[in-house]
Each structure stands twice: as C-alpha cells, then as structure tokens.
Chains A and B, each alone.
Chain A
Amino acid sequence: MSIEIQDVHKAFGSLEVVKGVTMTVEKGEVVSIIGGSGSGKSTLLMCINGLEPINSGRILVDGTDVHGRGTDLNKLRRKIGIVFQQWNAFPHLTVLENVMLAPRKVLGKSKAEAEAIAVEKLARVGLSEKIKVYPSKLSGGQQQRMAIARALAMSPDYMLFDEVTSALDPQLVGEVLDTMRLLSSEGMTMIVVTHEIAFAREVSNRVAFFHKGRIHEIGPPAQVIGNPREPETIDFLKSVL
C-alpha cells in the first residue's frame, strides 16, 4: 500500500512544471513538500489524484496506474482526499450538507448514514457547533477545517494537503495545523505541501525540498531542515525562517 511516483513529467503547453519526480510514500507515512513559489508543488498533487494529466512517467496508487487507460478516476479519488489552499466550500450547502454530499451521492450511503459520518468528522475537526450554518458564516480557519472533514468523510486512505494554511490569518493557522496533527497521530498517510517549516519538521517522517520542478533533497526532517546539504535548500530555508 503506497503512492509511487515514477519519473513524472508535466507541462502546461511549452512550460514544463514538473521535470522528472520520483518518490514513494508508504502507508502511514507523513511526507512534507517544501519549496519556492511556482516550483510545481500544487501541480504534482493534482497529478496524484488525476485532476491534471501527466506527460510521461507513472503514478501508482496501491498499484493502480492513476493515468492508465482503464482507470476509473472517480473511484480512485475516493481513497485520496485533497484539501486546497482556497477552501472551496460549496456555498449553497450548509456545513453538514457540504460534508454529507459526497458520501451520499458518490458512495451511495443513506441519508442517516451520511449524516452520522458527517457529524463524526465535523466533531473531529472541532466544528460540532457549526453544522447548521452556511460556509459564508465561517471564518477561513473554520472553512478549511470543514474542507478537511469533507475529505475525511470519504474515509480516504491518503490525504493530500496543498498549503492549507497559507490563505489564513496568522491567528487561525494553529487550529488547522492542530487538526492535521491529530490526523497524523492517528496514522493517516499524508502528503503535505506547506510553508510552515516548523510544522513540517514536527509531524513529517520525511521532508522533500522542491526546486524548479525537481526534488533537490529528500530525507528525515532533521536532515533536510536541520542540516541541509544543497545550497538551494539552504537559501530557501533562510528565506522562509
């Protein structure tokens, strides 16, 4: 059980954004991806759950080729949750309905089942009091936690996080990171793109430093963050710390 990324290349038109990335994330692992703006981190996450096609290479999720011909992407995406930088709440649904929607319509659960799941997931992210309100009434941090609950409601095996705190006010960052900490302590497999270096260091089993579409350095946080070898990594860490 793992996500295997094998020599993946991805271009938008003539602009190559991911230039040959290889990495494996084992079940139960937390891998953080750090790196400068525009280095291709978000694009890689999109490729992992098939929201973006790739130009060459392979991505295997539990052995299934994500971009293979016969792959049922809708089915595959059920086991990969993703949370975006912009929270993307569905504005026309209440918090509870936001979380219930996919279990009902994609997994075909009954209303009662879906509601039970949603209530449980919302409790886990600390939003029990807010289940009847519309997302527009929530703060950014609450919306982001709702987005996490929405992804968790599909009982995914993997969670991808794309800079989930970088659009938040500083005082709201903590509550979202706490939620992610909780998940990692429960053994969720996660790939976390983040600018929060301290957080990456604390929760990750491994950290990958992304630069211009390539992984420049990957290893335990103590090594990549605590004792970087590559000059680009050192420069990047200097600029964010």
Chain B
Amino acid sequence: MNYTFHWLPAFRALPEMLWGALVTLEIAVLSMVLGVLFAVLLAVGASSQYRIFRAAAVSWVELARNTPALFQIYMAYFGLGSLGIHLDSFVALLAGITFNNAGYLAETFRGGLRAVPQTQVRAARSLGMGQIQAFRLVVMPQMFRIVFYPLTNQMVWAILMTSLGVIVGLNNDLTGVTQEYNVRSFRTFEYFALAAVIYYLLAKFVTVSARLMAWRLFRY
C-alpha cells in the first residue's frame, strides 16, 4: 500500500460540507412533512367508497413500495420531463422522496389506526363525545404513539435517500458538496469518509432526539 492519506483538504471542506448537511436535513424534513400529509390522504383514500380514489391510493402505495427510491427520483427528474414538467434537481429529489415516504407511511398509519381498539371509541362515545372528538381526543393520541417509532425510522430513511440527489445533479446537499470537492481533487476516500461520519451523526441526532421526545411524550 503506497497511498498517503491527505485529510487536511477534507477538513478544509468541512464548513461547506456542514452547510450541505443543513440542506440535507432541510430536504429530509420537508419530505417528511409532505409525506405525512400525503400519507394521511392515501390512508383515507384507500378506505374511500369511490373506486378511483381507492385505485389511485393503492397504486401510489404499491409503486412506492415496489420500485427503487432512485427510480422514483429519476421519474420525477427525467420522466416527468417527457410530459413537459421540468423539475430542477432539488424539487425532483424532494418529490421522489416525498412519494416514497407517503407510500410507506400510509401503510404505517393504517396499521396504527387498526391497532387502537374499537372499544376505545365506544367508551369515548358513551361519554357523549362526537365522532370527531372521539377520534381527536382518544384515538389520535394513541395512534401517534404507535406510529412514532416507524415515523422516526422513516425520517432516517429520508436522510439516507437525500444522498441520491447527486445522481440527478444536486450539488448543494451533503453528498453533492462532497462530490464537487471530489471531482476537483480526486481524494475520493477522504472526502466521502468524512461525509459518512457526518451522515452517521445526522442519523444519530435524529434517533437520539426522537428517543428523548418519546420519553417526554409517552409517560404511560
């Protein structure tokens, strides 16, 4: 082995990489917020009485779960172009991950809803609560606890998926910034190892803060 490691250039790139990490986090958070919204719509749509809503919801969920995330991002970036919809790489990445998140979270929510026993609704209604009140005050908080762990898992997934943006030309997230430095200097190992460490810390940051939150929120 006659390779000498050069860590100094990599550390000089660190500030810019950290800015990139912020963009990464931004995309992940946005994709989760949007993903949750769409997932709720999908979960509602899947139990709709109208066939086309059911079909649309089911297709979305199955496509999201049975094709690669990278494929979904590709579709958003190149595929939609054929239909005259031109998304820039940031939006395409966000759309792809949101599509993916929503597909997985829809199933999570459905499972969570089923896990709250019907007897809880009955008890709430017997106290004079309306349907919506019973859902909001009794079912939702319990469901939230059930989906909390899968939700944080999905958040970690979302962070990992953002790295795919580089493939559709995103250059200001963590992987994008790293790649920009890499093509200028070809110190591939050093730059990407450093990026790996930052991703690891990001993922840990999410799981640890989720655990703290769960500890504060779910005292029962």
Contacts and interface: CB of A to CB of B under 8 A. Distances in A.
A and B touch in the complex (CB under 8 A): yes
Interface of A: 49, 51, 74-75, 77-78, 81-82, 84, 86, 88, 90-93, 101-102, 105-107, 134-136, 147, 150-151, 154
Main secondary structure of the interface of B (DSSP, over half): helix
B133 interface: yes
5 contacts: A74-B130, A91-B220, A92-B142, A101-B137, A154-B128
A84 B130 CA distance: 19
Interface string B116-140: 0001101111111110010001100
A88 B127 contact: no
A78 B218 CA distance: 30
B145 interface: yes
A88 B120 contact: yes
Contacts of A134: 219-220
A78 B126 CA distance: 8
Nearest to B218: A92
Given A84-B119, A86-B119, A101-B137, A92 B220 contact: yes
B81 interface: no
Contacts of B220: 91-93, 134-136
Contacts of A136: 220
A105 B137 CA distance: 9
A151 B128 contact: no
B128 A78 contact: yes
Given A74-B130, A106-B133, A90 B123 contact: yes
A186 B156 CA distance: 58
A135 B120 CA distance: 14
Nearest to B122: A51
Q: Ordered nearest first, which 4 A-B pairs have the shortest CB separation?
A: A88-B123, A102-B127, A134-B220, A77-B128
Given A88-B122, A151-B126, 15 more contacts: A49-B126, A51-B126, A74-B125, A74-B128, A74-B130, A77-B128, A86-B119, A90-B123, A92-B220, A101-B137, A105-B133, A134-B219, A135-B220, A150-B127, A154-B128
